[in-house]
Chains A and B, each alone.
Chain A
Amino acid sequence: MAWSASAIFRPFLADVLDNTAAFDLGADSIKAALYNNTPTPDNDVTSALSAYNATSSQWVTANEVFEAVQWPQGGVALTSQTVNSATADVVFFDAADTASGSAADLASVFGVQVYDDALATPVADQGISYNYLGGSNSVVNGTFTIVWHANGIFRLTI
């Protein structure tokens, strides 16, 4: 299997709603880690298995694409992240587009895991969402930028 779509991790929403985990998307260090096509993302996994580099998860570093300094292992922190509720019936999470250094070599990047790097308990680095990048992407000695969707990283319509 492989990447084919984006999704919000079910345990993320559940853990926010029942106060199991203290996510603060507007203030925490939220990171974007790149992955090759080995993972089979699943939004219905447990909280523990949604976390970055969780043992036996899809998000182990063996599946990660990174380059020291340019797009470090563990991902690049989002900037200007915001939980936006200014539109009727909609709450969405967004951030500025996320860029590598200017001399990146990255290959076979299929998707990105968005996780809370500040969260230590009950699950460290718990996942928020995974976002498909539409296929294989690469860069040689250039800048690799994730352009987040106009509707945000994730969007809730109520």
Chain B
Amino acid sequence: MSSVASASGTANDATVQVAYDPDRAITDLKRRLRAVRELCERAAAAGQLLNPSDVLAELDRKE
């Protein structure tokens, strides 16, 4: 009687690595803070209250 030729196989879990470019992050933060400052200045000049949703939208805005 012959034996069975066998094999086993598996796909392997992978992992994720996340990396940030520090220069990009700092540049992006500065840009967002400048934009928020402009929002504040415009609201102050107009004697208006700053709309929080505008601030959040600016902070969330992608480059």
Residues on A lying within 8 angstroms of B by beta carbon are 5-8, 13, 97, 102-103, 105, 109, 112, 114, 129-134, 137-139, 141-149, 151-158
- What chain B residues lie within 8 Å of A155 (beta carbons)? 9-12
Asked whether A102 and B10 contact (CB < 8 A) given A143-B18, A144-B18, the answer is no
Kindly list 15 other residue pairs between chains A and B, CB separation below 8 angstroms, not including A6-B13, A109-B16: A102-B21, A103-B24, A103-B63, A139-B18, A142-B18, A142-B20, A142-B21, A143-B20, A145-B17, A147-B17, A153-B12, A155-B9, A155-B10, A155-B11, A155-B12
Residues on B lying within 8 angstroms of A by beta carbon are 5-21, 24-25, 28, 62-63
Q: List 23 A-B contacts (CB under 8 A).
A: A6-B13, A8-B9, A103-B63, A131-B13, A133-B13, A141-B24, A141-B25, A143-B19, A145-B16, A145-B17, A146-B14, A147-B16, A148-B14, A149-B12, A149-B15, A152-B12, A153-B12, A153-B14, A155-B9, A155-B10, A156-B9, A158-B5, A158-B6
Cα–Cα distance between A7 and B6 once the two chains are bound (Å) = 18
Cα–Cα distance between A155 and B13 once the two chains are bound (Å) = 11
- What chain A residues lie within 8 Å of B10 (beta carbons)? 6-8, 154-155
- What chain A residues lie within 8 Å of B14 (beta carbons)? 6, 112, 131-133, 146-149, 153
Closest to B7 in A: A158
* B7, A157: Cβ atoms closer than 8 Å: yes
Asked whether A7 and B11 contact (CB < 8 A) given A109-B16, A147-B16, the answer is yes
- What chain A residues lie within 8 Å of B7 (beta carbons)? 156-158
- What chain B residues lie within 8 Å of A13 (beta carbons)? 9
